Amino acid sequence: MQLATDIGGTFTDFVVLSKDELRTFKLPSTPKKPSQAVEQGLKGMKPSMLSHGTTVATNAVLERRGARCALITTKGFKDVLLIGRQKRPSLYDFTCTRPKPYVERDLCFEVEERISFTGETLKSLEKKELEDLEKQLHKADIKAIAVSLLFSFLAPEHERKIAEHLTNWPISLSSEVLPEFREYERTSTTVLDAYVRPIVSKYILEIERIFGDRFYIMQSNGGVSTSNVARQRPINILLSGPAGGIAATHFLGELLGLSNLISFDMGGTSADISMVLDSQPQWTSEGEIAGLPVRVPMLDINTIGAGGGSIVWLDEGGALRVGPKSAGADPGPICYDKGGKLITVTDCNLLAGYLGERGLLDGKMPLKSEGAHKMVAELAKKIGASHNETLLGVQKVVNSNMIRAIRLTLAKRGQDPRDFALMAYGGAGPMHACALAFELGIKKVLIPFLPGAFSAYGILVSDIRSSYSKSVLSPFTGAENKIEECLDELMNLARRDLDSQGITSDSAQFLSSLDLRYKGQSYEINVALVPDVKEAFHKKHQALYGYAMPSEPLELVNVRLFSMVKRKKILPKLKDKKSTEAKSTRKILFEDGLRTAKVFERDKLTLNFQGHGPAVLEENTATTVIPPDISFKVDEFGVIHMEVG
């Protein structure tokens, strides 16, 4: 038996694979002690492997509950975090300020030392400096240390010397966490690594105790690593929350022969948007958390405040707005009947007939429409629209927020939505998917099996991935030896990590790539290390920015190495229930008015079933809405295919 569990804000999802059969269940999350829900869910089960997705690091950062940290920098630069890139986050809004660094100013210490841009030591680090530093640190009562010296990615000796001297604290070195140039971003990443280190370490030990062994943990890069390796580099799990769903989208896309997919995960509070392009998930090394840079490679995910719980409001100009604020799970939407007073997307979806009164979680969470109806009537009066126009208006606004986010995600990589299929999941994704597809000109919409637990399923099937990088900063021409050298170094790190996960390196695939740019540019493009890298770079530049300059010299910025070990992919074995009949009908509001839709129980539908909208497919954790004139089909894996437009 294998088990995956994914901790969300509201629910902790479990996916259990036993004798090739997949089943899923949900337990309420236990935010005060997240491992409690995991322990509860594991009770009475003896899985051979546990795969786990956790937001423990994310929440520690967002809620500022991490360790009291010190930062050590080169003399003259202790304010690197406070000054940052010297920009303010909002041009006109005085209430919006830069996020405070995760190290207080009086816990930033300087050491006399200096490395030049060639890696040469201009001023060496004396032992006396370290002794003084140690005394100060003892007084400061800190729980972790981050070290980030200028140009340490070229010459890590000084940072290592500090680590060797300060053995009393957990320590994160910038030359190990992110050996790349740009001191602010490197320092920020290193500090976050140190900040969450004690909390992550404790949490992992707790889960290891519950499970009884080391386990797989989901990382921000869309792959897993074993818990002992994750503990060494906690920064890698910082933004792993939505990663499982994208890993699952990627895998399902491969299975169905679809190479371009938009992954759209809409839950209670937010929508996560990402894409798979040419059968590859898209990574970025320009991630952020709470407005602070995290530059380790991670899946490129655009998260916006659009979910079922997103609150409907009127702005100063009287325009209808939705989100980003959410009613959360408690009190939640008005229709949860737990004291919520603010209209949410879920309330409108219920009134429009998208959701049935039977409610969520197989009837365990009934929904009441009365209160929501009253509030929407009031809102309709205020904006001078009919009841139905108001409901449609809310949907239009929340949908256009998501459409804009999808467009942006694709535009960043020079892509057109019309070349993609939309994979929609999460509790609310399958309800909104068709409306988005219409607007974006997308022809095909897919609703996977287990849409409400798809992210947990993704954690179960995602591969073992690690990434390594090093800045070089030299002209590309003539850098062959340097590249070789770097790759050797990175390969050694990769082998070491594989080894500590009990994997031999022959079962791993390695992918080397380079970050390149035209000399003088301030941004770089990642290109796989193919025989004609130059040509590949020009092509990619052309595709992304609309022009290329083949006669210009290239500059090599970073060398990167990815290692990947495939894990076994498990598909749910479906029992064919043979049903072709709708269990009931209900009125649903579409743009052209109320229509009578057939309501099917998704789990009972026969494979290869075909039907037409207007229809609703209900299941345990999600509801799929199929507008009029859209045909749909259930394939052999239980995935719903809709042809739009």
Partner 1 sequence: MGTVQRRTAYSPNIKERVDASCAVFDAQGRMLAQAEHIPVHLGSMPLAVKYTKKYFEGALKNGDQIVVNDPYHGGSHLNDITLIKPIFLKGKIMGYAVNKAHHSDVGGKSPGSMPSDSRYLEEEGLVLKPTKLMESGLESKEVLEIIEKKTRNPKERKGDLRAQIAANNTGAKRFLFYLQKYGLAEYNEFVEAILNYSEIRVKSAISIIPNGTYEAEDVMEGDGITNDPVKIAVAVDVEDEKVKVDFTGTARQVEGNINSPFSVALSSVYYVMRCVTDPFTPPNEGCLRPIEVNIPNGTLLNPEPPAAVSAGNVETSQRIVDVLFLALSQALPEKIPAQSQGTMNNLLVGSSEFTYYETIAGGEGAFSFREGQSGIHTHMTNTANTPIEALETTYPLRVETYELIPGTQGEGKFNGGLGVRRAMRFLGEEGTLSIISDRRKYPPKGIMGGGDAKVGVNYLVRKGKMIALPSKTTIPLKYGDLVVVETPGGGGYGRGRQKT
Binding site for partner 1 (CB under 8 A): 76-80, 82-88, 90-95, 97-98, 116-117, 150-151, 181-185, 315-319, 400, 404, 407-408, 411-412, 473, 518, 520-523, 544-547, 549, 552
C-beta closer to partner 1: residue 472 or 615:
472
SS3 260: coil
Tokens 């009972």 belong to 604
> What is the strand order of the sheet 593-601 is part of?
584-590, 593-601, 615-618, 623-626
In the bound state with partner 1, the residue whose beta carbon lies nearer, of 408 and 530, is 408
Asked if 504 and 491 count as a contact pair (C-beta separation under 8 A), the reply is no
Specify the residue, 320 or 630, whose C-beta has the smaller distance to partner 1.
320
- Quote the least distance from Cβ 409 to partner 1, whole Å: 11
- Identity (one letter) of the amino acid at 56? V
Nearer to partner 1, 98 or 539 (CB): 98
- Residue whose structure tokens are 């202790």: 78
In the bound state with partner 1, the residue whose beta carbon lies nearer, of 212 and 550, is: 550
- Which residue in this structure is represented by tokens 């309330």? 347
370-383 and 387-411 helices, crossing angle to 10°:
80
Distances (CA, A) of 155 to 75, 151, 390, 394: 17, 7, 62, 56
Between 28 and 645, CB nearer to partner 1: 645
Complex with partner 1: residue 25 or 438, whichever CB lies closer? 438
Report the residue number, 544 or 564, with the smaller CB distance to partner 1.
Answer: 544
At 117 the three-state DSSP class reads coil
Cα–Cα distance, 468 to 243 (Å, whole number)? 19
The distance of closest approach from Cβ of residue 547 to partner 1 in the complex, given in angstroms and rounded to an integer, is: 4
Closest CB 309 distance from partner 1, rounded Å: 22
Whichever of 185 and 463 has its CB closer to partner 1, that residue is 185
Cβ atoms of residues 262 and 244 within 8 Å: no
User: In terms of CB distance, is 224 or 557 closer to partner 1?
Assistant: 557
Residue 117 C-beta: closest distance to partner 1, Å:
4
508: left (phi > 0), else alpha (psi -120 to 50), else beta?
Answer: beta
- What phi-psi label fits residue 588: left (phi over 0), alpha (psi between -120 and 50 degrees) or beta? beta
Neighbours of 141 (CB within 10 A): 9
Amino acid at site 191:
V
User: What's the closest the beta carbon of residue 396 comes to partner 1, in angstroms?
Assistant: 9
Whole-angstrom distance, CA of residue 572 vs CA of residue 5: 16
Q: How far is the CB of 134 from partner 1 (least distance, A)?
A: 23
Q: How far is the CB of 318 from partner 1 (least distance, A)?
A: 8
- Count of other CB atoms within 10 angstroms of residue 74: 22
Q: How far is the CB of 94 from partner 1 (least distance, A)?
A: 6
How far is it, in rounded angstroms, from Cα 596 to Cα 600? 13
CB of 310 to partner 1, least distance (A): 17
CB of 492 to partner 1, least distance (A): 25
State the amino acid at position 235 in one-letter form. Answer: I
CA atoms within 13 A on the CB side of 66: 27
Q: Which is nearer to partner 1, 48 or 86 (CB)?
A: 86
Judge whether 545 and 608 are in contact, CB under 8 Å: no
The least distance separating partner 1 from the CB of residue 62, rounded to whole angstroms, comes to 21
**Buried-state track 86-113, b at ≥16 Cβ within 10 A, e below 16:** eeeeeeeeeeeebeebbbeeebbbbbeb
Beta carbon nearer to partner 1, 91 or 141: 91
Nearer to partner 1, 93 or 480 (CB): 93
Give the whole-angstrom CA distance, residue 215 versus residue 204: 9
Q: What's the min distance (Å) between Cβ of 315 and partner 1?
A: 7
Q: Work out the angle between the directed axes of helices 429-440 and 387-411 (0-180°, nearest 10).
A: 70
Q: Which H, E and C letters describe 320-364, residue by residue?
A: EEEEEEECCCCCCCHHHCCCCCCCEHHHHHHHCCCCCCCCECCCC
- Smaller CB distance to partner 1: residue 219 or 409? 409
In order, the DSSP letters of 20-50 are TEEEEEEEE--TTSTHHHHHHHHTT---SEE
Q: Least distance to partner 1 from the beta carbon of 520, Å?
A: 5
CB of 435 to partner 1, least distance (A): 13
Cα–Cα distance between 446 and 194 in angstroms, integer?
A: 41
Half-sphere exposure of 77 (CA within 13 A, CB side): 19
